[in-house]
């Protein structure tokens, strides 16, 4: 009886406990360029700075918005045109 148990233990020691599938099981994440520095960044849920590569680039971008270096084009609308029927 002990010989049978030992044979099983020896066989388990030689075989890996799991099969490594390499990249086949690895999740593929889209790579995007950091808007500030251009470095490739994986779009992962764990990355708190996405789409930026880090906090520094995020703050640089925020500063540029605050300095009005970036603007979103919009038409001015004051409601006066509607009153005139134009």
pTM over 0.75: no
Q: What angle do CA 15, 20, 26 make, to 5 degrees?
A: 165
Q: For 63-75, how does the pLDDT look when each residue is reduced to its tens digit (9 = 90+)?
A: 999 998 988 888 8
Going by pLDDT thresholds of 50, 70 and 90, the confidence category of residue 1 is: very low
42 Cβ neighbours under 8 A, 6+ residues apart: 29, 30, 31
Please tell me the predicted confidence (pLDDT) of residue 70. Answer: 85
Residue 31 DSSP class: E
| 8-59 per-position pLDDT tens digit | 555 555 555 555 455 544 578 999 999 999 999 999 999 999 999 999 999 9
Cα separation of 63 and 34, whole Å?
Answer: 16
pLDDT of residue 57: 96
CA–CA separation, 3 vs 47, rounded Å?
A: 53
């Amino acid at each position: 009886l002990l010989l049978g148990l030992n044979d099983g233990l020896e066989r388990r020691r030689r075989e890996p406990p799991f099969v490594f599938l390499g990249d086949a099981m690895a999740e593929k994440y889209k790579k995007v360029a950091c808007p500030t520095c251009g470095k490739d960044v994986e779009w992962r849920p764990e990355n708190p700075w996405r789409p930026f590569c880090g906090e520094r680039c995020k703050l640089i971008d925020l500063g540029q918005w605050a300095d009005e270096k970036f603007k979103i084009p919009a038409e001015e609308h004051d409601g006066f045109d509607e009153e005139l029927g134009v």
